[in-house]
Amino acid sequence: MLDAATPYVSTTNACKLCTPLGACIAFKGLEGCMPILHGSQGCATYMRRYIISHFREPVDIASSALGEDQAIYGGGPNLMQGIINVMDKYNPDIIGIASTCLTETIGDDVPMILSGFKKEFAHLKIPELIHVSTPSYSGTHMEGFHRAIRQTAIQMAEPDPLPHSKITVLPGFVSPWDVRHLKGVMRDFDIPGIILPDISETLEGTIQEDIEMVPSGGTSMQDLKSLGGSPACIELGNCIKNDLSTAGWLEKNLNVPAHRLGLPIGLRGMDAFMQTLSRISGKDMPREQMLERGRLVDAYVDAHKYLFGKKCLIYGEEDLVTGLVSFLAETGVQPVLAASGGRSGLMQKSIEQACDGMLPQTPSVLSGVDFYQIVEEAEKLEPDFILGNSKAYRIAAGKWDIPLIRVGFPVHDRMGAGRIRHAGYEGAYDLLMRIVNTLLEKRQEDADLGWGYM
Ligand code: SF4
């Protein structure tokens, strides 16, 4: 409880996003799924705008559109009407329902509303209804994302499925390119897989003659139902708490062996993913990936003289930040500050492990912070460049005049965010080149004399 004597710091420009927004992105990776936000219309408008501006794709998110009366008397009838409207207009196979601050605060019992809905409209063909509780005042978009995936498994996986050979991979919140890349790696291995969620097509689609009301692609219903028959589940993300881990739930409840790793960013991150695939499948790393790995190490050697000792500030989601710190530690860059609005309590240890034996000094780690606190801390550390989403552009360009290299989400001031490469040896190569060339360009621009060879 706060009282007048308790020091209180308000959040100024949060380094996190709204919890149901993360849930909507996860739902967008399920085949035939349409998300509904149970709350006021403004929430859905904000989330649509945020997601569309990043992916540059049409993204529909429905809303139960509560007004003042429902805030007092409850939003059950609105949610039921919203589901009927979505069924009429989109004909989805799945409706993903995420609560918002308003409906969590008034205490709407969504499972009870949905149970009433199924009874009242039993004569209709009702899609699968997946519900996730996402109060934004107590979490981040990543908690919404992971909670939606876990609830999808809990509510969709059959309790007694037939065993099959598809390895389940939970890629975390990475770009559509990253997801496509991981799928390609599994194809190179000749390992069949279930990717959950699979945003590789739904959030980076092709031009169509006729508009698709629900974009094609995503994890299929059949795969969701058969999750419990997988021989193994690989969950990517060091900072996923146990109560948000889908791999943990599958292992505990359906006996699917869990392999929990960090995001496959940088050489060691991707090596860990490759070794896990090899161990599970009994197959060697494919030649194509061996070659990519060799090219990456060669590029590390070439770029080292330009990167050694450069100081970097990294911010964003905890898993992404941890993966990027691990990658930078391999390149000679000194990460000086790793910051996130998330507060899983796992980032500090994960970063220490990633830097162990690699860096003379572990970076400062700030969890649960906003941009005000990040700037305050970073000013003392004088970074040479920043790795993060668009939200620090004003600081980078205006206040410090240092380059911001855009990664993660949201990227609202550049095109091609769906194709930002973070994962795999190819992703690391691309990141390395973007960093080294940005720093060379900056040095060239700032030099008094023109020079064209180095
Ligand atoms: S933070 Fe709460 S009120 Fe704001 S958009 Fe998200 S759910 Fe809606």
pLDDT in tens, the chain (454 residues): 445 566 667 888 899 999 999 999 999 999 999 999 999 999 999 999 999 999 999 999 999 999 999 989 999 999 999 999 999 999 999 999 999 999 999 999 999 999 999 999 999 999 999 999 999 998 999 999 999 999 999 999 999 999 999 999 999 999 999 999 999 999 999 999 999 999 999 999 999 888 899 999 999 999 999 999 999 999 999 999 999 999 999 999 999 999 999 999 999 999 999 999 999 999 999 999 999 999 999 999 999 999 999 999 999 999 999 999 999 999 999 999 999 999 999 999 999 999 999 999 999 999 999 999 999 999 999 999 999 999 988 887 777 899 999 999 999 999 999 999 999 999 999 999 999 999 999 999 998 887 777 7
Site to substitute for ligand 1 among 11, 43, 134, most atoms within 8 A of C-beta: 43
Closest residue to atom 5 of ligand 1, CA basis? 43
Nearest 5°: phi and psi at 13? 60, 80
Report the separation in Å between the CA atom of 346 and the middle of ligand 1, taken as the mean of its atom positions.
25
Burial 299-322 (b: 16+ CB within 10 A, else e): bbeebeebbeebbbbbbbbbbbbb
Q: Are 127 and 95 in contact (CB under 8 A)?
A: yes
Tell me which residue has its CA closest to atom 3 in ligand 1.
Answer: 101
Per DSSP, the residues of 238-263 read TT--GGG-HHHHHHHHH-PPEEEE--
**Is the minimum distance from the CB of 144 to ligand 1 under 6 angstroms?**
no
Task: State the Cα–Cα distance between residues 35 and 26, nearest whole angstrom.
Answer: 9
DSSP summary character for residue 278: H
Distance 58 CA to ligand 1 centre (A): 21
Distance CA 166, CA 148 (A): 21
Q: What is the DSSP string of 54-81?
A: HH-S----EE----HHHHHH-SHHHHHH
219 phi and psi angles, rounded to 5 deg: -70, 130
| CB of 21 closer than 8 Å to CB of 100 | no
Q: How many CA atoms lie within 13 A of 179 on its CB side?
A: 26
Q: For ligand 1, say whether the CB of 43 is within 6 Å of any of its atoms.
A: yes
Please tell me the residue having the least CA distance from ligand 1 atom 6.
18
Domains, the chain, with CATH or none: 19-156 (3.40.50.1980), 167-205+214-281 (3.40.50.1980), 287-446 (3.40.50.1980)
Per the structure block, which two tokens stand in for 75? Answer: 């939003």
DSSP result, 292-351? HHHHHHHHHHHHHHHHTT-EEEEESSHHHHHHHHHHHHHHT-EEEEEE-S---S-HHHHH
CB distance 130 to 11 below 8 Å = no
